[in-house]
Amino acid sequence: MTNLLIISDGYPSAGLPYSAFIATLAQEMTRQEIRVQVIAPQSLTKHWFRHVPLAPRHFTQEIDGKTIDIYRPYSFTAGDGRLGFITRWCNQLVTTCVAKRIQTPDVVYAHFWLNAVSAIPFVRAKKLPLVVATGEDVIPSEQICRKDKEWLKANVKSIICVSTKNKQESVKSGLADEQRCVVIPNAYAPRDFYAEDATEMRHQLGIKETNFVVAFCGRFNERKGVFRLDAALKQLNDTHIKAIYIGSPMDNCKDEPDYNGIVFKGQLPHNEIAHYLNAADVFVLPSLAEGCPNSVIEAMACGLPIISSDLPFNDDILDEKNSLRVNPTDLEDISKAICCLKNDRTLCLQLGEGAFNKAQTLRIEERVKRIRACFES
């Protein structure tokens, strides 16, 4: 059995559902006989000044009789600007302190490049192999000093890139050796995301069969595009078009979409999202930047046609068989795509079928097998 240490930004716990993807990955790794420990520093600064709740500093998850140990040490953060070195130094310090106290892993898996920086002292001291997963919407190369960049490029054993776009950016930034990069798109967990009877789901949620329902899932911010989607729906002014907005504002931001056709808005436990997606006709994500959008893949697994950005981060998962690609900053483009699928039921069903078929190639168990092959090599 491989002993794996994951270094991450977060991990979901009671009342704090964020970073569900890393939990899905850790749980599937555990099912595939990998012993998983997680270190995910949490910010006291955000807790004090933004009132962000704190998770327990140590808790466990039981998966099929096996245990995942999650450590959430307290750290101090100072943003990503001129004082960003404080954030990186503190995260490096607390990560090293915890890593020295737990079972020594065979492999360290850093989820994103800044977490790889946090892992450097421990990995160097123990002479452990380091694997980096790059899935950032923007590679933060300017936040990593030249010395650390050079060390990472020379010593990281494998780079798991969630998209061709992430691979190209990692290489261009000087962080990655192209020969060590492998593109493995994000994936969904079939036990959480699957097709259900749309009529039954609508009945449970009180949505009329005559409505055309648009679904969105993500943070309520400019990057994800929820406000542009909201504006596009207002522009259409069609009372038959309803919206499901799954998500929440960022930290203390109070802005939320307010289209008058909203039938649901708010956060959901990760394993309940599928019920709401299955009540929709189409999934829309007019995002400005992604690594590889998990929410799109999860919607595809529910059989939804996709309307999303015509930007490179979607190139590995979306094509003309499963989606309509739009300019994410053009309200007219977003509106036309929604109208197109509302008025062409045949096309809507064809793209939904294409999305479902594509999703079958993006299952979490297959992704973990490919990642495990990188560990074992």
Tens of pLDDT, residues 239-249: 999 999 999 98
pLDDT of residue 250: 76
Spatial separation of the C-alpha atoms in residues 147 and 232, rounded to whole Å = 46
**Using an 8 Å Cβ cutoff, are 251 and 50 in contact?**
yes
252 pLDDT higher than 80: no
375 or 347: which leads in pLDDT: 347
Q: What pLDDT shows up at residue 2?
A: 86
pLDDT of residue 153: 96
pLDDT at 80 > cutoff 90: no
Given pLDDT bands bounded at 50, 70 and 90, which one contains residue 251? low
Query: Could you give the residue range(s) of every CATH 3.40.50.2000 domain in the chain?
Result: 2-187+363-376, 198-359
Helix (H) / strand (E) element for 264: namely: strand 262-266
Give the rounded percent of residues in the chain with a pLDDT score beyond 90.
90
> Are the C-beta atoms of 335 and 251 separated by less than 8 Å?
no
CA nearest neighbour of 247 among 223, 221, 228: 221
Q: Does residue 151 carry a pLDDT above 80?
A: yes
Q: What pLDDT shows up at residue 190?
A: 97
The CATH code for residues 198-359 is: 3.40.50.2000
Provide the pairing of β-strand 241-246 with 262-266. Answer: parallel
Residue range 49-63: average pLDDT? Answer: 94
Tell whether the model's pLDDT for residue 191 goes beyond 80.
Answer: yes
pLDDT tens for each residue of 39-52: 999 999 999 998 88
Crossing angle of helices 20-31 and 364-376, in 10° steps, is 70
pTM above 0.85, yes or no: yes
- Structural fold of domain 2-187+363-376: Rossmann fold (3.40.50)
- When mean pLDDT is compared across 35-49, 70-84, 114-128, 186-200, the lowest value belongs to 70-84
- What is the SS3 assignment for 323? strand
Give the CA count within 13 Å in the CB-facing half-sphere of 15.
5
* pLDDT at position 83: 84
pLDDT tens-digit map of 8-50: 999 999 888 888 999 999 999 999 999 999 999 999 999 999 8
Helix (H, G, I), strand (E, B) or coil at 71: strand
Q: Please tell me which residue, 15 or 335, carries the higher pLDDT value.
A: 335
User: And the tokens for 229?
Assistant: 């989607």
- Rounded mean pLDDT of the chain? 95
Tokens linked to 171? 């290489």
150 sits in which H/E element: helix 146-155
- pLDDT, residue 247, reads 94
More confident site: 214 or 77: 214
Give pLDDT, residue 253: 74
Residues listed for the chain: 377
What pLDDT does 1 receive? 62
> Above 70 in pLDDT, residue 88?
yes
Helix (H) or strand (E) holding 132: strand 130-134
Q: pLDDT digit string (tens) for 285-320?
A: 999 999 999 999 999 999 999 999 999 999 999 999
SS3 336: helix
pLDDT at site 18:
82
Between CA 201 and CA 312 the distance in angstroms is 33
Q: pLDDT value at position 376? A: 81
CB atoms within 10 A of CB 71: 22
Tell me the two tokens of residue 115. Answer: 């977490």
3-state secondary structure 236-261: HCCCCEEEEEECCECCCCCCCCCCCC
CB-based contacts of 350, cutoff 8 Å, min separation 6? 321
In the 8-state DSSP scheme, what is residue 55? P
The dihedral through the CA atoms of 136, 142, 148, 149 has a sign that is positive
What are the φ/ψ torsions at residue 211 (nearest 5 degrees)?
-80, 150
> pLDDT digit string (tens) for 91-127?
999 999 999 999 999 999 999 999 999 999 999 999 9
What whole-number distance in Å separates Cα of residue 23 and Cα of residue 271?
12
Distance CA 37, CA 64 (A): 16
pLDDT band at 254 (very low <50, low <70, confident <90, very high): confident
Residue type at position 34: I
